[in-house]
Structure formats: structure tokens, C-alpha cells
Homo-oligomer: A and B are copies of this chain.
């Protein structure tokens, strides 16, 4: 089991630097988002649905840490825009299955590429050595965020 101790003052300083950098960069990235016609919560739900596959409204609400009535609203708007498909649940007639559509993928791809373009330009201000360090650490940051 990979477990690190992180006891030194250098470790503590790095954790703090990492936290501040992540929060600020995320805030700036959020301001960059492409399609202003969808709220953050709507975009996020759509992304989860795309990553994790079809699920019921209740499951999606739990995934997004949102209450069921809020998810009802979000799904209604996404459905209206043709960004999700709703189908009856195979086993339980109370539930539904929410899934993505072709337009979802286009939409998310556009959003991703806009964020990446902005970040690429920002990273262009680093020198070669700095970028090499950050590039090497990117997969670790991703793993950290998802564990």
C-alpha cells in the first residue's frame, strides 16, 4: 500500500503552495467557461453523466451532492436543450434512466477545448524547465484529485 508520511516543513509548505495554486487556477478556469447558457451545476451534471454513463435522477443527485428537487430542475433544463435523453427504467416504473446524447459530446468537447486553449496559453509563459516539472506532475495531480 503506497503511503507517504509528509512530516517535514518542506512538505507542509508544498501542501500549502499546492492548495493555493489549485484554488486560484480553478477559479480562473471557471471564469473561462465556454457556454454561459448552462450553469456550473448543469455542466457538472452533464460531465458526470458522460464520464459515468446512464443513471437515474436520484443517483445523479447523490453523485453531484445536490438534493433531488434540484436535480429534477437541472435534468428538465438539459432535456429541453436536447442534452440528455430520458427513458423508462427497465425494472422500476418509479425511476427513469438519464443518458447523454450526441449533442452532449459536442458540447463537452467544445468546453474542454476552450479550457485547454486558455491553459495552454497561460502555460506558455513558463520557461522550459518549469513546464517540464509541471507536465511530469500533471498525472500525479490528477490521481490525487480522483482518489
Interface residues of A (CB under 8 A from B): 2-6, 10-12, 14-31, 65, 112, 115-116, 119-120, 122-128, 130-131, 133-147
Contact: B145 with A24, CB < 8 Å?
Answer: yes
- A15 → B minimal CB distance (Å): 5
Q: Contact at B18–A119, with CB atoms within 8 Å?
A: yes
Given the interface pairs A133-B136, A144-B25, A144-B123, the reply to whether A116 lies near B4 with Cβ below 8 Å is: no
Query: Are B26 and A22 in contact, with the CB atoms below 8 A?
Result: yes
Complex: A141 Cα to B10 Cα, angstroms: 16
B20 with A123: CB separation less than 8 A:
no
Verify A131–B6 contact, CB threshold 8 A.
yes
- Extra A-B contacts (14), CB below 8 Å, given A15-B116, A18-B134: A2-B126, A2-B127, A2-B128, A4-B126, A4-B128, A6-B124, A18-B119, A24-B146, A26-B26, A31-B65, A122-B147, A125-B147, A131-B140, A137-B140
